[in-house]
Amino acid sequence: MALVFNNVTVPQSGNVIYNGTSLSAVKMGATEVWKRQKTVYPGAPVANTQNLGYGPYFTVTNNGSDIKVDAFGGTERGWGRVIHGPFSSAGYSKLYFSALRAYITNAFSKVSVSLGDINGNWVQRLIYHDTGESLGGYDVTFGSGDLFTINSANANYYLILEVDSGATARGLNATIQMNGCYLI
């Protein structure tokens, strides 16, 4: 939420300075009325893309403000990850997405969003779903009301979007589509 003070609007990405100190939050009494946020995406570049399955069955579409990571189950397994960063979580304890949709239409498939390192090793899983033998049916959208607590604040992280679609001849998929990630 933006802060309006003396007809000046301060967005969450802006700064509030009081007595020479940059504040991370502003309270009116006991009620928080503004909290600084940091943009991870768009902003943090794609640092690494790893195609871990059969090449043609993993795709990434990124226009700079919206990214779609997709794995298709064909005659082989589609599996890959996109790694954004690095970014520092210093001074922040939560993360949220303006819109992140994770969906699976295939059996033996997974989607996950994690904080981790440049090699794709996760430190903290934020979102994870595995269909197992069932035929997909997972379709969830996370928005600004879904807050994720960062377990190790004050760390340098990469945001990892990973999709894994089992091998079927039907070409079904596992997809993550995101258009904003923020620290607060």
Please state, in angstroms and rounded to a whole number, the distance separating the CA atoms of residues 174 and 1.
Answer: 33
Per-residue pLDDT tens, the chain, 184 aa: give them: 677 777 877 766 667 778 887 677 788 898 878 777 899 999 999 999 999 998 889 999 999 999 999 999 888 899 999 999 999 998 889 999 999 999 999 889 999 999 999 999 999 999 999 998 887 789 999 999 999 999 987 789 999 999 999 887 677 899 999 999 999 8
CB neighbour class for 160 (10 Å; exposed up to 12, middle 13-18, buried from 19): buried
Domains and CATH numbers, the chain: 3-36 (no CATH), 40-183 (2.60.120)
The pLDDT of residue 142 is: 98
The pLDDT of residue 125 is: 97
Q: How many CB atoms lie within 10 A of CB 115?
A: 24
Query: Among residues 68, 137, 133, which one has the least CA distance to residue 99?
Result: 68
The pLDDT of residue 12 is: 67
Residue in the block written with tokens 């699976």: 104
Its pTM surpasses 0.75: yes
Please state, in angstroms and rounded to a whole number, the distance separating the CA atoms of residues 18 and 8.
Answer: 15
Could you tell me the end-to-end alpha-carbon distance of the chain, in angstroms, rounded to an integer?
Answer: 11
Q: Is 90 within 8 Å of 152 (Cβ atoms)?
A: no
The pLDDT of residue 110 is: 95
